């Protein structure tokens, strides 16, 4: 697959992934336009993604290699290729026919992208040699190893008719006797392998074949497949820290990247037996890193609590296999098999004694949604700096120094340097904040490496006496950061220095930056600043995270979607990177909050990521804020939402964003206007240059029924930036409240033009425009806007709430509540405004409104 082709496949996959499953087929019909190979490749990726966290560490590139077409119908050595039948632990598997011996075989090829990797070839050969010496009825037979003319290495294995255990489990859980028989056969296979010093390392249902057989009551014989991760004991062909295998079945030591031995295989067998008996896995989650965290840190629910028919003896046997300490598991596979036999005997005895009551027991399978959630900082638009500072350190000598950090820029245009410049700027702001300097968040400037008048005025307005400016450039394999400390009053240079590091050592550059600047500001705080711990140990993950932040800050649909991709890549490298989990969760919450993604697609994913972030770093303030958004917007868990808003303020009392979001996104919508106005004014005092906070201060007055004050505040924001969309839209709504219909129509129309994309203007602008037109008596034009809004909803997701607003404007109350009911069913985030939003005053006394609010838990 060429790089260009892969980019096309990946782009379509990303777009298809973020739409409802039922819409994907029509999308691919249009996008692939008869290119059947392209469609097959995208659908294969989607199919792989639907298997939750099934392969740890598998990148899209690995999947793309697996999709590369084989030589169907051709011949490789004595083998004639018939068809592709699957993908094993280390390559693509084909059905072939051995013309010499007249038998079918399974040929497994090393992936193309690993064809030149000597280590991968060694592992494949080791697999063949290791397994070929095992003559066991429950281990797949190896016939041959060879090399194709194009250099690809292959292994010829016995071909069996049948289905995998994974396929069987997708249809139903297994009866106890059948599950125990499968486990016993697998234990026998593992005992033989372990006796030869072979550890499978990848025990999972997909590697267990139920091969058709005339012997045995079940009609099949168990075959353990794919020793693709097999490792000869004491013969290290894989790096110790390499996390390979399938996440859900990994032992704690394997998930932690440690050396594994036979106990690891017994853990995996225990996980499979748990799943066969209960229909659930003991450790669950939406993504691989979530499962890894559970394996390493959380206790599983005993199988008997999930399904009482498992019985306490068998449940205890499984519990021992799932001991996190490998020394507490069974010493051998044979010992595990004996324990299973004993538990089966005990279970039968108990069943006989209790048969009269057991026959009526209903099966209970508890499925838990592995949700967790992540960050959200702005509800409508606007660039607000994301601060993750520690609590302020009490400064013993003198008052807090006032210093502002200007966004670092690059003298040579480069996306990579732009991301890195943003990262280093934010890291320095966080470090200085942690030491009590409280640098104000400042807007981005072009030419920030010079003391122009705009920069100086901004710094003075924020009370900053000094400015730190930086210019970043790359010279070959070196990164160079030129730093300057300027006097904000007159732009005089107080100090300058240059930092130089290899391009791959960005964390080292970060550390030196923090230490160097701290020394210049005050020797007394060097220790406090320089001890800030990097959020990750991986330079690559660090850069990927800030690439995600860069696109997150764009606050567009495409930007948020791209940010999620970068956050995912960072987590693939470091699944313990809490800020990356927070960033991904926040992006999903924003996609849902702004109507770019349906709520049921956005918020559960966001919550899962955010709760993972807080599991990893409980005091991550931005994760608390974003989780509060999700709990408020979609899950309607009001007390929990307020707890997390308040927790963010408690963790960062000098963080303007925390006060801002608590004010507008909880207190105001709950009708607690005095508290909301106090909080938003606190936020504005902490960050006087934030246009978003200033605009929301105006919106708070509008929500409190003070449109005159709102208009004054919002017009002041537009005096600073006449193109700031949130202020323009909020002003239009305030004009509607004040009865200034002509001004409202003109203002909202301009906001609508700014929001225009290939489908049309944003839905909220159209709803408010219909409202303004109807209030002005221009009902025909309001009707046209309503129809346009409905037409848009056929081309992209449009919240039903906005259509309800347009119907309400036209006095169509029944239609209004029909769409509000749809909004309720979707759990749209804006439906909360039914409680206090001034726009809906005319229908709030309707009993249907009261009933909706009661169902939301808001009455």
**Catalytic positions, please?**
202
Contact 251, 329 (CB under 8 A): no
Retrieve residue 54's tokens.
């099934």
Sheet holding 208-212, edge to edge: 162-164, 208-212, 220-224
The whole-angstrom separation of Cα 514 and Cα 39 is 49
Classify 198 as helix, strand or coil: strand
Classify 811 as helix, strand or coil: coil
Length of the chain: 859
Retrieve residue 387's tokens.
């601060």
H or E stretch covering 542: helix 539-552
Contact 91, 109 (CB under 8 A): yes
Nearest to 203 by CA among 241, 157, 161, 248: 248
Contact 853, 834 (CB under 8 A): yes
* Pairing assessment for the beta strands 478-487 and 466-475 based on DSSP bridges: antiparallel
Using alpha carbons only, give the angle 445, 449, 451 rounded to the nearest 5 degrees.
Answer: 80
The whole-angstrom separation of Cα 546 and Cα 614 is 19
- Phi and psi dihedrals of 99, rounded to 5? -70, -25
- Dihedral sign from CA coordinates of 430, 432, 433, 435: positive
- Phi and psi dihedrals of 221, rounded to 5? -120, 135
* Pairing assessment for the beta strands 142-147 and 91-98 based on DSSP bridges: unpaired
The whole-angstrom separation of Cα 413 and Cα 397 is 42
β-bridge mates for residue 501, sequence order = 479
- Phi and psi dihedrals of 363, rounded to 5? -75, 135
Classify 821 as helix, strand or coil: helix
Nearest to 588 by CA among 620, 621, 633, 544: 633
β-bridge mates for residue 109, sequence order = 92, 154
Q: Other CB atoms closer than 10 Å to residue 493's CB: what's the count?
A: 11
Query: Rounded to the nearest 10 degrees, how much is the dihedral formed by the CA atoms of 664, 670, 675, 680?
Result: 0
Retrieve residue 484's tokens.
């300057």
Using alpha carbons only, give the angle 127, 133, 137 rounded to the nearest 5 degrees.
Answer: 100
The whole-angstrom separation of Cα 194 and Cα 185 is 14
* Pairing assessment for the beta strands 153-158 and 198-199 based on DSSP bridges: unpaired
Straight-line distance from the first to the last Cα atom of the chain, in angstroms, rounded to the nearest whole number: 58
* Pairing assessment for the beta strands 466-475 and 403-405 based on DSSP bridges: parallel
Nearest to 829 by CA among 852, 806, 801, 794: 801
* Pairing assessment for the beta strands 75-76 and 79-88 based on DSSP bridges: antiparallel
Query: What does the radius of gyration of the chain's CA atoms come to, in whole angstroms?
Result: 31
Query: Rounded to the nearest 10 degrees, how much is the dihedral formed by the CA atoms of 264, 269, 270, 272?
Result: 130
Contact 481, 512 (CB under 8 A): no
Q: Other CB atoms closer than 10 Å to residue 615's CB: what's the count?
A: 18
DSSP for 50-100, written as a single string = TSTT-STT--HHHHHHHTS---TT-EETTEEEEEEEEEETTEEEEEEEETT
């Amino acid at each position: 697959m060429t790089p260009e082709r892969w980019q096309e496949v990946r782009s379509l996959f990303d777009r298809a992934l973020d739409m409802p499953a039922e819409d994907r087929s029509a999308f691919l019909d249009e996008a692939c336009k008869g290119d059947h190979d392209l469609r097959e490749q995208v659908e294969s990726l989607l199919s792989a993604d639907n298997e939750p966290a099934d392969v740890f560490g598998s990148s899209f590139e690995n999947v793309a290699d697996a999709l590369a077409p084989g030589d169907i119908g051709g011949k490789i050595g004595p083998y004639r290729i018939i068809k592709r039948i699957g993908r094993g632990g280390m390559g693509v598997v084909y059905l072939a026919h051995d013309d010499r011996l007249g038998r079918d075989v399974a040929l497994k090829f090393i992936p193309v992208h690993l064809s030149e990797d000597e280590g991968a070839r060694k592992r494949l050969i080791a697999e063949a040699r290791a397994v070929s010496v095992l003559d066991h009825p429950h281990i797949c037979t190896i016939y041959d190893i060879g090399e194709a003319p194009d250099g690809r290495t292959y292994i010829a294995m016995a071909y069996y008719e049948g289905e995998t255990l994974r396929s069987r489990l997708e249809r139903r859980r297994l009866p106890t006797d059948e599950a125990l028989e499968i486990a016993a056969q697998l234990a026998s296979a593992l005992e033989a392998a372990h006796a030869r010093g072979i550890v499978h390392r990848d025990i999972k249902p997909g590697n267990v074949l139920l091969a058709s057989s005339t012997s045995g009551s079940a009609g099949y014989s168990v075959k353990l497949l794919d020793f693709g991760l097999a490792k000869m004991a004491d013969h290290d062909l894989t790096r110790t820290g390499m996390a390979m295998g399938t996440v859900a079945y990994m032992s704690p030591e394997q998930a932690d990247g440690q050396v594994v031995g036979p106990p690891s295989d017994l853990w995996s067998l225990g996980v499979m037996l748990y799943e066969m008996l209960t229909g659930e896995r003991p450790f669950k989650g939406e993504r691989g890193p979530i499962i890894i965290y559970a394996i390493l840190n959380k206790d599983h629910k005993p199988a008997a609590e999930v399904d009482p028919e498992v019985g306490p003896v068998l449940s205890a046997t499984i519990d021992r296999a799932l001991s996190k300490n490998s020394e507490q598991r069974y010493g051998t596979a044979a010992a595990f098999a004996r324990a299973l036999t004993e538990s089966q005997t005990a279970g039968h005895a108990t069943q006989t004694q209790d048969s009269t009551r057991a026959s009526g027991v209903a099966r209970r399978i508890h499925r838990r949604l592995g949700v967790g959630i992540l960050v959200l900082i702005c509800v409508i638009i606007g660039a607000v700096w994301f601060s993750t500072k520690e609590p302020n350190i009490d400064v013993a000598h003198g008052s807090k120094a006032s210093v502002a950090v200007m966004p670092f820029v690059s003298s040579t245009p480069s996306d990579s340097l732009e991301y890195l410049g943003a990262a280093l700027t934010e890291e320095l702001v966080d470090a200085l904040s942690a030491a009590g300097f409280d640098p104000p968040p400042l807007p981005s400037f072009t030419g920030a490496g010079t003391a122009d008048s705009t920069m100086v005025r901004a710094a003075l307005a924020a009370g900053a006496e000094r400015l730190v400016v930086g210019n970043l450039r790359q010279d070959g394999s070196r990164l160079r950061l030129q730093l300057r400390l300027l006097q904000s009053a007159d732009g005089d240079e107080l100090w300058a220095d240059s930092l130089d590091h290899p391009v791959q050592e960005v964390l080292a550059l970060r550390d030196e930056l923090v230490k160097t600047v701290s020394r210049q500001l005050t020797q007394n705080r060097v220790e406090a600043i320089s001890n800030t711990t990097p959020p990750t140990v991986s330079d690559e993950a660090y850069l990927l995270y800030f690439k995600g932040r860069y696109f997150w800050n764009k606050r567009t649909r495409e930007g948020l979607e791209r940010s999620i991709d970068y956050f995912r890549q960072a987590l693939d490298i470091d699944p313990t990177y809490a800020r990356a989990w927070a960033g991904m969760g926040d992006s999903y919450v924003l996609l849902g909050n702004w109507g770019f993604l349906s709520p049921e697609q956005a918020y559960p994913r966001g919550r899962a990521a955010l709760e993972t972030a807080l599991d990893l770093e409980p005091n991550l303030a931005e994760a608390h804020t974003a989780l509060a958004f999700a709990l408020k917007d979609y899950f309607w868990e009001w007390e929990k939402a307020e707890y997390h808003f308040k927790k963010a303020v408690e963790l960062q009392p000098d963080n303007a964003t925390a006060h801002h979001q608590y004010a507008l996104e909880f207190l105001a919508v709950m009708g607690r206007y005095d508290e909301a106005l106090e909080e938003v004014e606190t936020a504005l005092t902490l960050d006087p240059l934030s246009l978003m906070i200033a605009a929301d201060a105006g919106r708070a007055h509008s929500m409190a029924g003070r449109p005159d004050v709102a208009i004054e505040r919002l017009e002041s924001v537009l005096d600073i930036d006449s193109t700031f969309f949130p202020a323009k839209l909020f002003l239009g709504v305030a004009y509607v409240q004040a009865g200034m219909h002509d001004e409202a129509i003109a203002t909202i129309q301009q906001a609508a033009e700014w929001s225009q994309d290939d489908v049309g203007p944003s839905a909220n602008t159209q709803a408010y425009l219909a409202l303004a037109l109807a209030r002005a008596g221009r009902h025909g034009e309001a009707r046209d806007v309503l129809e346009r809004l409905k037409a848009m909803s056929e081309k992209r997701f449009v919240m039903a709430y906005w259509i309800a607003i347009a119907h309400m404007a036209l006095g169509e109350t029944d239609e209004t509540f029909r769409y509000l009911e749809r909004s309720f069913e979707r759990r749209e985030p804006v439906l909360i405004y039914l409680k206090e939003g001034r726009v809906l005053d005319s229908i709030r006394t309707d009993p249907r409104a009261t009933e909706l609010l009661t169902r939301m838990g808001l009455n």
